Amino acid sequence: MSYVITGLPLADFQPLFGLSDAALAERGVLRVRVTDKPGFPCRITLADADPGETVLLLNYEHQGAATPYRSSHAIFVRESATGTARVAGAIPECLAARLLSVRAFDAAGMMVDAEVVEGAALEPLIARMFADPAAAYLHVHNARRGCFAARVDRG
């Protein structure tokens, strides 16, 4: 099964990079200094930030479809991000090391399947979910905190 895991678009967040803490607070965003690795997974780079780096903690609408499954949640993004990750046919370490909730959606944004899996077992679940022709794309979330982690599309 061919698949691609994609981070969030860098351009969506670049206007926030370098703003003062006060300007970020006006937008409901917090700047956080990373203390532990793993612990602060960047949704743009699909990698855990390193201790000492700063990340932005903000609410992001990851499922914008006009359905009952429309959804947003807190995410981290690295202020040092320079490009959006696109990983074909492999599971990024920041996903492989976590308990994940995977949700399959049809082209209209309606959920057609969902499962919880250890990240190391994500690839077979991707194949199973994409075996259903109704599954247009998958959203991966960190199961414990519920944060959106990445999108998976057919390759």
pLDDT digits (tens, 9 = 90+) for 15-73: 999 999 999 999 999 999 999 999 999 999 999 999 999 999 999 999 999 999 999 99
CB-side exposure of 115: number of CA atoms within 13 Å? 16
pTM of the predicted protein model: 0.94
Q: Is pLDDT at 1 greater than 80 in this prediction?
A: no
Grade residue 81 by pLDDT with cuts at 50, 70 and 90: very high
- How does pLDDT run across 122-143, given as a tens digit for each residue? 999 999 999 999 999 999 999 9
Q: Is the peptide bond before 38 cis (omega within 30 degrees of 0)?
A: yes
Mean pLDDT for 69-84 is 96
